[in-house]
Amino acid sequence: MTFKKNAILSILLAVAVLMMTMPLAGCESKWTLSDTDNKTLQGLPSQFSEISQAYQILQQYYVNNQALDTTKLLQGAIKGMVAAVGDNYTVYFPPQVYQSTEIEYTGVYQGIGAYIGEKDNQIIILGTIPSSPAEAAGIKSGDIILKIDGQSTAQMTSDEASLKIRGQAGTKVALTLGRKDVKDPIELSLTRSEITEASVISEMHGQIAYIRITQFILPTTNDFKQALQDSIDKGAKGIILDLRGNPGGILDQAVDVASQFLLRGIVVKVVDKDGKESVFKVRPGGLALNMPLIVLVDGGSASASEIVAGALQDNGRAKLAGSQTFGKASVQNIIRLEDGGALKVTVAHYYTPNGKMISGTGLTPDYPSDLKDQDLLNWAIDYLNKIIAQEPAPAATK
């Protein structure tokens, strides 16, 4: 019993002294316990001994103590500790969960193809992937997920909800949704499939290039640069960058994308727990430094997509059109534990180049509009054509 008790206590205390190396969302730093860390563990608050006491009480008094699963107890304790932080974006992933979460940034996974987030203590849909089960079922950005397989989401984080929605291709998941202006909940049964996400989608509309980024994942920079160069080669004279329904992703990819349109300046400022500011400057070699540009955003544009939009807006490079963005101004690190699990930890907050902190408020478009989907795209095409022709820009109609 002493060995199990010490193992649980050591790992729990180790979690409390994790060290992070880079303030980048999606960047992983493998943590290991060094001799220095072992010494640090001895200096933790004495209250942590209560974890050991609780474990001993269960072993001694619980009626079915032979069935106690040490691994489950350990993972439950870590999960509870992390939840007590009170930050919905700081989450513990057990080993089996992290293995499925890890592939998210590659663009291939099994699920329904919907991006979700948290706002006002609700789990909401930020967007859907083209040709996915979610899109086919008519799920829309802004829908509220009320239940997953009959279980209320009231106490779930967005990561927990996402993991419940994901599953083996061919299996089903039931969602209960709330939708603005729809009185009764919407009941859906969806069949999961393998989702292969193209994070960059592009097409030409006459002399206007339309490029949509669905999420900032590992292939995004290369795919975006290729789409941008192809559009230029096809004679594009204006660009629509569509970030609607984009939940964010890897910070480094966002800096790369913004740099394709900026000659110099700042993309984003990141401030860590000690108040230390890291400035991410424009990276040289942008492909479209002077071409007319409009950026489309909505309430599903979050995190890394807000970094790109905010950088282009603050640097005076592009106007934003659409609706208020989500307002997620924090940066997370994914830090692996020795047992194969991981912590996703909020390590910093970010500010736009002009110093705006948009957490909870989002970015305000230069051209506010209630136009949706193709209607806003058509407006953007007209906007750019008039800019190219040096005519007055059209008003964004409601």
CATH of the domain at 165: 2.30.42.10
Query: Sorting pLDDT into bands at 50, 70 and 90, what band is 107?
Result: low
The total of structural domains in the chain comes to 3
- Predicted TM-score (pTM) above 0.85: no
Domain boundary among 196, 212, 240: 196
Mean pLDDT of 85-95: 89
Please measure the distance between the N-terminal and C-terminal CA atoms of the chain and give it in whole angstroms. 67
The pLDDT value recorded for residue 100 is: 63
Residues 336, 380 within the same domain:
yes
Which comes out higher in pLDDT, residue 151 or 49? 151
320 and 363 both lie in a single domain = yes
So what's the pLDDT on residue 34? Answer: 47
- Domain end call among 141, 162, 196: 196
More confident residue, 82 or 33: 82
Q: Are residues 155 and 279 both part of a single domain?
A: no
Answer whether residue 337 is part of any domain. yes
Average pLDDT over residues 243-255: 93
Q: Are residues 209 and 250 in the same domain?
A: yes
The pLDDT tens digits for 51-61 are 889 999 999 99
Please tell me the predicted confidence (pLDDT) of residue 156: 87
According to DSSP H, which parts of 249-321 are helical?
251-259, 304-314
206 and 84, same structural domain? Answer: no
> Residue 94: inside a domain, yes or no?
no
Q: CATH no. for residue 345? A: 3.90.226.10
* 177 & 206 share domain: no
Residue 150, judged by CB atoms within 10 A of its CB (0-12, 13-18, 19+), counts as: exposed
Dihedral pair phi/psi, residue 307, rounded to 5°: -65, -45
Position 14 pLDDT exceeds 80: no
**Range of 142's domain?**
108-196
The mean pLDDT of 166-181, rounded to a whole number, is 94
* Whether 192 and 204 share a structural domain: no
Active centre residues (catalytic): 303, 314, 328
How many Å apart are CA 234 and CA 323, to the nearest integer? 30
pLDDT at 205: 97
What whole-number percentage of the chain has pLDDT above 90? 64
User: Lowest mean pLDDT: which of 18-32, 50-64, 127-141, 270-284?
Assistant: 18-32
Q: For tokens 């202006």, what's the residue?
A: 181
134 and 82 within one domain: no
Q: Is residue 393 part of a domain?
A: no
**45, 60, 88: which is the final residue of a domain?**
88
pLDDT of residue 41: 52
pLDDT digits (tens, 9 = 90+) for 221-233: 999 999 999 999 9
pLDDT confidence band for 48 (50 / 70 / 90): confident
Structure-model confidence comparison of residues 398 and 6, the more confident one: 398
Q: Of residues 396 and 24, which shows the higher confidence score?
A: 396
118 within some domain: yes
The answer, yes or no, to whether residue 40 has pLDDT greater than 50, is no
Categorize the per-residue pLDDT at 12 as very low, low, confident or very high, splitting at 50, 70 and 90: very low
How far is 286 from 274, CA to CA, in rounded Å? Answer: 33
Distances (CA, A) of 249 to 161, 199, 215: 17, 11, 6
| Residues 221 and 249 placed together within one structural domain of the fold | yes
- In this predicted model, what pLDDT tens digit does every residue of 315-371 receive, in sequence order? 999 999 999 999 999 998 889 998 888 999 999 999 999 999 999 899 999 999 999
Domain match, 159 and 50 both: no
pLDDT score, position 13: 34
pLDDT at 8: 38
Q: pLDDT band at residue 33, thresholds of 50, 70 and 90?
A: very low
What pLDDT does 16 receive?
Answer: 32
> Which is more confident, 134 or 40?
134
Q: Does residue 45 carry a pLDDT above 90? A: no
Tell me: do 212 and 312 sit in the same domain.
yes
Determine, yes or no, domain membership for 397.
no
Residues 178 and 211 in one domain: no
Q: Is residue 359 part of a domain?
A: yes
- Is residue 299 within 8 A of residue 327, CB to CB? The reply is no
Tell me what pLDDT residue 20 has: 30
Percent of residues in the chain assigned helix, strand, coil, to nearest 5: 30, 25, 40
- Cα 291 from Cα 295, distance rounded (Å): 13
What's the rounded mean pLDDT across residues 127-141? 92
Q: Is residue 30 part of a domain?
A: yes
**pLDDT for the residue numbered 288:** 97
Residue 131 lies in a domain: yes
Q: Quick one: average pLDDT of 146-173?
A: 91
pLDDT higher than 90, residue 62: yes
User: Does the structure show a pLDDT above 80 at 103?
Assistant: no
pLDDT band at 234 (very low <50, low <70, confident <90, very high): very high
pLDDT confidence band for 22 (50 / 70 / 90): very low
